[in-house]
Amino acid sequence: MARTQVVVVGGGPSGLLLSQLLHKHGIESVVLERHSREYVEARIRAGLLEWSTVALLEEAGVGTRLLHEGLVHDGFELAFDGRTHRIDLKGLAGHSMLVYGQTEIQRDLADARIAAGADIVWEAKDVRLHGFLGDGHPRVSWVGAGQPQELECDFIAGCDGYHGVSRASVPAAHITQHERVYPFGWLGILADVPPVSEELIYANHPRGFALCSMRSMSRSRYYVQCALEDKVEDWPDERFWEELRARLPAHYAARLSTGPSIEKGIAPLRSFVAEPMRFGRLFLVGDAAHIVPPTGAKGLNLAAADVRVLHRALDEYYRSGSETLLHAYSTRALARVWKATRFSWWFTMLMHKLSEEALAYQLQLAELEYLAQSRPASQVVAENYVGLEFAA
């Protein structure tokens, strides 16, 4: 039977980043992805990176284009009650954020892995995990090019997302899952129009939340809060632009550029954490273990943080035989996950329309006023937004 050191299930950004970092340390891996490369690279996802994520991508050798084309953001604006308050990320927390689309990260990582001769199996069907709870060597089986395949390994990294096979393979008695589904969604569009502001705008409005983001200085990414039962067909471009304009302060609404959408979709919001994140020889990474509302820009960054912890643990194991960091993986990863889950929940509850109750809206305005008047309160937001410091 063929074997490798690490099988990485999932060829998205977290899976390819882990594989690339392992390669840098001389550790063999095989990546199994159920979709085609073209399909994965076409998925529109987040693109706001903490500087620790940028540093990890540089460590993996894929930082050149990112640093050349990415947009550095030193702050963002909170819009409420017809006015704005800027959160000075650089001044309050000492770090900036970088705007660089996840599709571009995916492309950079795939190019780097292929250039290094990586073993990536695209369109691997019926992936199954075997024997990972025992002390022996686990196996992964799949169907590739119509033929059954099987691979023995030392460890399995489950980087295959919320709906993937990795977490689903864990017996129910071994895992605890926490979940909150929010009673609203985000309608997002991508359009080739200049962004309304050079920095992101998070808007709290009686009509609902809105977010003005971007992918470049000529391509904008905008969102409005919508009902869970809404369909994309309910939102022609004209209705979207009208609603977005209504939720922005007047000076931004007046300069909003509109145009045809090139991508449009509705995403539900949830908070989800599975614990632990290690099951014998299987390690869950990224969305396979946790989901946060996109409000706090934590999803991709949390996945990168998991990769940071796991690749260092695997490097220690193959260098010295020590399993100390492997045993600590779940505890170390979850410490950051729970803090980011809390921040994302808090920010979501602060900025979205929660009900028709006037009291709920007035309490939000009171908290936003407090943030605007209190430097320590704004500093707490900034520190969480740019990403908390890693433990040694």
Catalytic residues: 73, 202, 294, 298, 385
Please classify residue 391 by burial: count the beta carbons closer than 10 Å to its beta carbon, then call 0-12 exposed, 13-18 middle and 19+ buried.
Answer: exposed
Cα distance between residue 10 and residue 24, in whole Å: 19
- The rounded Cα 248 to chain-centroid distance in angstroms is 26
CB 244 within 8 A of CB 193: no
- The helix (H) or strand (E) run that includes residue 341 is helix 324-351
- The rounded Cα 275 to chain-centroid distance in angstroms is 18
The residue type found at 221 is: R
Cα distance between residue 157 and residue 142, in whole Å: 15
Q: If you ran DSSP here, which 8-state letter would residue 62 be given?
A: -
Of 87, 97, 107, 99, the C-alpha closest to 46 is 99
For residue 77, the SS3 value is strand
Q: What is the DSSP string of 6-49?
A: EEEE--SHHHHHHHHHHHHTT--EEEE-SS-HHHHHH-----EE
CB atoms inside a 10 Å sphere around CB 62: 21
Beta strands in the chain (DSSP E): 6-9, 29-32, 48-50, 71-73, 75-80, 83-88, 97-99, 119-121, 125-130, 139-144, 147-152, 155-158, 176-191, 201-203, 210-214, 220-226, 261-275, 278-279, 282-284, 290-291
CB 183 within 8 A of CB 176: no
